[in-house]
Structure 1
Amino acid sequence: MKNYFAHESAYIDEGCEIGEGTKIWHFSHIMPNCKLGKGCNIGQNVVVSPQVTLGDNVKVQNNVSIYTGVTCDDDVFLGPSMVFTNVINPRSAVNRKAEYAKTHVGKGASIGANATIVCGHDIGKYAFIGAGAVITKNVPDYALMVGNPARQMGWMSEYGSKLIFDEQGKAECTETGAQYQLTNNQVIKL
């Protein structure tokens, strides 16, 4: 007996591991040898390519393709129609499956609607990628990235509030009171 929900229009290939409480909605395709954690929500018209791994509580909004080479830690949010790539120089007539680049999305990161993540660039934990941003380099933990190409415009708390650091490099989340330290362009939660 399966311990997850899949809409009758969803297609799930053999060899997938799907965690308890995960929901897979209309017209989505989960391809061979994927691992989806517990409590994930896979929206409508999503493709999860072979060998993709999603942690627990990953929320994938409608119209997202997660290509081979992508891994997401727990609590990641993938906004509507955001895009991953897996080849730097694709050509229809050239098979580059052996060249798939890897992309890792850290715990708690959020990627906004219509953002593009160019393959081979990792997203740090609790990073926040704004809607429509194009990521062309690695993103530090807690970084707020916007634009095309994306530029860092600040830092975000684990709760999702913008952090304002004082002269000593300290900040407090306005929603939770959690404390953060900025040192050498790196943020840690205290």
Structure 2
Amino acid sequence: MNIHPLSDVQSLNIGKDTRIWQFVVVMERARIGENCNICSHCLIENKVNIGNNVTIKSGVQIWDGIALEDDVFIGPNVTFTNDKIPRSKRFLAEYPETIIKKGASLGANATILPGVVVGEYAMIGAGSVVTQNIPAKEVWVGNPAKFLREVDD
């Protein structure tokens, strides 16, 4: 485990060979697997599970209720949401479960709405807004994201 001294990592649940760069905040109950790379300026809340071999590029916030399975790629400034009807000073007792399945890739600036499941090895294009579940091994793009083609590699 390699944690940059300018990060604030409160969790002890971080796997071997995971690298956490500067200006990252990881809250106490977050779980992060082995061999992950979490780039600068990221936030990871408490009720978060991150698998092994996950890459999270700069500027990403992983909110309560979000799970990233093994081998997931999260591009820079991907935006996750965890409340369908957000209001100031109103906190949910339970958050919708958002799951990014094994091997999926989310392009830069994609937005993922709460409660969505992105299937295994699916790809979400940069800037896309994902409003529904995405099947395995498909490429989706646009706002709202629409099926483009099957993944060919």
Relative to the length of structure 2, the TM-score reads 0.97
CA distance in 1, matches of 2:12, 2:125: 31
Q: Residues 127 and 140 of structure 1 are in contact (CA less than 8 Å); yes or no, is this contact kept in structure 2?
A: yes
Q: Is the 8 A contact 1:22 1:41 kept in 2?
A: yes
Q: Which of 19, 38, 51 is the aligned partner of 1:23?
A: 19
- Please say which structure displays the higher CA radius of gyration: 1
- Look up the match of 1:9: 6
Distance 1:139 1:21 in 2: 31
Deviations 1:79-101, CA, capped at 9 Å, x for gaps: 000010000010114x1321421
Quick one: distance in 2 between partners of 1:17 and 1:124? 26
Report 1:1-190 matches (<5 A): 4-13=1-10, 15-93=11-89, 95-157=90-152, 159=153
Query: What is the aligned length?
Result: 153
Q: Given that residues 16 and 31 in structure 1 are in contact (C-alpha distance below 8 angstroms), is that contact kept between their aligned partners in structure 2? A: no
RMSD: 1.0
Q: Secondary structure at the match of 1:97?
A: coil
Letter of the 1:6 partner, please give it: I
Task: For 2:22, give the aligned amino acid.
Answer: H
Higher RCO (CA 8 Å, separation ≥ 6 residues):
2
Following superposition, which runs of at least 4 residues in structure 1 exceed 3 angstroms of deviation?
none
Structure 1 gaps, min length 5? 160-190
CA contact (8 A) 1:124 1:141 kept: yes
Cα distance in 2 for partners of 1:22, 1:97 equals 31
Q: Name the aligned partner's letter for residue 26 of structure 1.
A: Q
Task: Give 1:151 shift.
Answer: 0.2
The percentage of counterpart residues that share the same residue type is 41
What 5-or-longer segments of structure 2 have no aligned partner?
Answer: none
Is the 8 Å Cα contact of residues 106 and 125 (structure 1) preserved in structure 2?
Answer: yes
Distance across 2 between alignment mates of 1:99 and 1:154: 35
The TM-score with structure 1 as length reference comes to 0.78
Deviation digits for residues 43-85 of structure 1 (CA, Å, limit 9, x no counterpart): 0000011021111000000000001100011000000000100
Give CA deviations for 1:116-146 in whole Å, capped at 9, x if unaligned: 0001110000000000000000000011000
